[in-house]
Chains A and B, each alone.
Chain A
Amino acid sequence: MNESKTRAVEMTTPFDPQMAILAPGHTYASITDKISAIVLTRRTPRGWFLGFTIAFLLLMLLLFTAAYLLATGVGIWGVTVPVGWGFDIINFVWWIGIGHAGTLISAILLLLRQRWRTSINRFAEAMTLFAVACAGLYPLLHMGRPWLFYWLLPYPNTMGTWPQPRSPLVWDVFAITTYATVSFLFWFIGLIPDLATLRDRARRRFWRILYGFLAMGWRGSARHWARYEMAYLLLAGLATPLVVSVHTVVSFDFAISIIPGWHATIFPPYFVAGAIYSGFAMVITLAIPLRKFYELEDFITLRHLDNMAKIMLATGLIVGYGYLMEAFMAWYSGNPYERYMLLNRLRGPYAPAYWALLVCNVGVVQALWSARVRRNVWALFAIALVVNVGMWLERFVIVVTSLHRDFLPSAWGMYRPTIFDWTMFLGSIGLFLTLMFLFIRLLPVISIFEMRALVPAVASSSGGGTARPAEAPTAS
């Protein structure tokens, strides 16, 4: 790819416009027109129809599997004794983890005043919402009788019972419900001013009414903005501990038990880091094709990709430390079951999955130490895909290796996913992508009003936000 070569040359010059958070030369109007045009005026690219068709077919696969599952029972999956937590929990943890990057970008980076978050927060939040929807499917369908899901909620009932709050699975219900609600609120509140923009710019009556209805009469009043910014800041402050708590509670599902390999105090931080790691991998996986196909390179610049790659590297190292501590504690504890758990991971029937996860999550990601790799979109895209696979394998290893051989060898067994486990998994990817494609087509994929607010900042220092000293003197 010759583009990357020219970029490598540009890197040596003092100021590289590709590394700004917003390419120079944009005005309030040009940003508004360019982003809203994707929704309102531009012809829908042929690639969108192609992608949507594939995603929709996968979604149909999900519906087919779910219908067959409801008609037959969870026996169509590979879950059995001793591995009762197969793909459902693996995929649940994988999806919920992916969602965490969206909240991190929208809340934590806001509190840390990282202005580069602006052009990626909107679709990262949408990704969170859709990933949580996919995650929520699994425990519901795993119940076997999902139409009785409301038994999980605390309400006075004729059975005279209440959910048992000493179980982490009940904590999960509250954590995921709260997380889904707050993620939706955060996403929607961020959309309101942009919905008003779409209302004012839509030419067809139907869309004016629809966006106008959703914008709720937003008119950009200065007093409204003051309260709006306060609400947004407070939500960010609330979402930050929430996102940490959600994956902590998910890790409690494992850590509160006494199963070897699960009963570890390192699980909460290690799970949270893993969640952010996989989430950023997914944001990069989505951002690279998005900026390419919709020509959004001015808004999602190499600076964004570079920064996300750095976060991925940092969280990847924390995850690597988690693996190391797991192994160390298995040895240091002197507990024969813990030791066997480690040996079983290294040499047992699922050893290829363990070694593959080490290669994906600890090995490949080290390439991101190089700035040239971080700024090469193709290399970055490939690494992000590898990390997505690696993090899925991590959950596979945690769930399956610990359950299939625990204390009594007479109770050991093997877990083999069936075809319906795979169609369910592919189907949930279809649900995720279908929602993502619809979102890209119907709503502004980048926060327009926050991008407008960047214009004065970029005009005064082309590096934007946290301009590097070396870049500042040559800035226009």
Chain B
Amino acid sequence: MAEPTGIYGLLAEFDAPEKVVAAAQRAYAEGYRRMDAYTPFPVEGLAEALGFHRTRLPVLVLLGGLFGGALGYALLYYAEVIDYPLIVGGKPFHSWPAFIPIVFETTIFFAALSAVLGMLALNGLPMPYHPVFNVPRFALASRDRFFLLIEARDPKFDREATRRFLEALGADGVWEVEP
């Protein structure tokens, strides 16, 4: 752990998606790990360059779907076979083909909910405060600018050396991020 520096990290600004990807790759090769990049649209290869490889989201969605389907079927079985058996059209109480549409819908319902809520939860959103917003230029991260952040928590972080490193990567500017 590097000694406390009083800042959250250093934010470097780039004007093109290729530049921020290249910068992230160089920083990763240099040994920096606690970093993030901010872009106005998804940039291919950027998350991988930062060392992020896989999201657990598909597993969550699968589990959500299985849960929804099981819940739907259990509900119908309990209602139609156990709690309120009614003969309709001469069909057996456990007339599973008639249950399929509802089980299908509950499967989709819970899978879709887990996709959205899972994405938000894994991303840590909603997040009312984040230090990067203290940099005024950061408002352009949702317009046309691309940013690479190296956090002060990174063991390799050094206020001066990291700044020189980021400037050498071709950044248009490097800003200190207030915590």
Interface residues, chain A, with chain B CB atoms under 8 Å away? 27-29, 32-33, 154, 160-168, 170-171, 174-175, 177-178, 181-182, 185-186, 188-189, 193, 196-197, 199-201, 216-231, 234-235, 238-239, 241-242, 245, 249, 252, 449-450, 452-453, 456
In the bound complex, do residue A225 and residue B130 qualify as a contact, i.e. CB atoms below 8 Å apart? Answer: no
Of B65, B79, B88, which is within 8 A of A154 by CB? Answer: B79
Q: Which chain A residues border B17 with CB–CB below 8 Å?
A: 456
Question: Could you show 12 A-B contacts with beta carbons less than 8 Å apart?
Answer: A27-B144, A160-B84, A162-B79, A162-B84, A193-B41, A200-B139, A220-B142, A222-B43, A224-B123, A226-B42, A228-B42, A238-B61
Interface residues, chain B, with chain A CB atoms under 8 Å away? 17, 24, 36-43, 46-47, 49-50, 52, 55, 57-58, 61, 65, 75-76, 79-80, 83-84, 86, 88-89, 91, 95, 98-99, 101-102, 104-106, 108-109, 111-113, 115-116, 118-120, 122-123, 125-130, 132-133, 138-144
A212 nearest CB across to chain B (Å): 9
| Contact A166-B91, Cβ < 8 Å, known A220-B142, A225-B43 | yes
Q: Which chain B residues border A453 with CB–CB below 8 Å?
A: 41-42
B140 nearest CB across to chain A (Å): 8
A213 nearest CB across to chain B (Å): 8
A170 vs B105: C-alpha distance when bound (angstroms): 12
Of B38, B43, B57, B58, which is within 8 A of A219 by CB? Answer: B38
Q: A256 — nearest CB in chain B belongs to which residue?
A: B98
Q: Which chain B residues border A178 with CB–CB below 8 Å?
A: 105-106, 108-109, 112
In the bound complex, do residue B119 and residue A230 qualify as a contact, i.e. CB atoms below 8 Å apart? Answer: yes
Q: Which chain A residues border B115 with CB–CB below 8 Å?
A: 185, 231, 234-235, 238
In the bound complex, do residue B139 and residue A189 qualify as a contact, i.e. CB atoms below 8 Å apart? Answer: no
With most chain A CB atoms within 10 A of its CB, the pick from B57, B58, B105, B142 is B142
Q: B47 — nearest CB in chain A belongs to which residue?
A: A226
A165-B80, A201-B139, A224-B125 known; 17 new pairs, CB 8 Å cut-off, are A154-B79, A161-B84, A162-B84, A165-B79, A168-B101, A182-B108, A188-B116, A193-B41, A200-B141, A201-B142, A216-B120, A217-B125, A221-B37, A224-B123, A227-B122, A228-B42, A453-B41
B118 nearest CB across to chain A (Å): 7
In the bound complex, do residue B40 and residue A238 qualify as a contact, i.e. CB atoms below 8 Å apart? Answer: no
A181 vs B50: C-alpha distance when bound (angstroms): 35
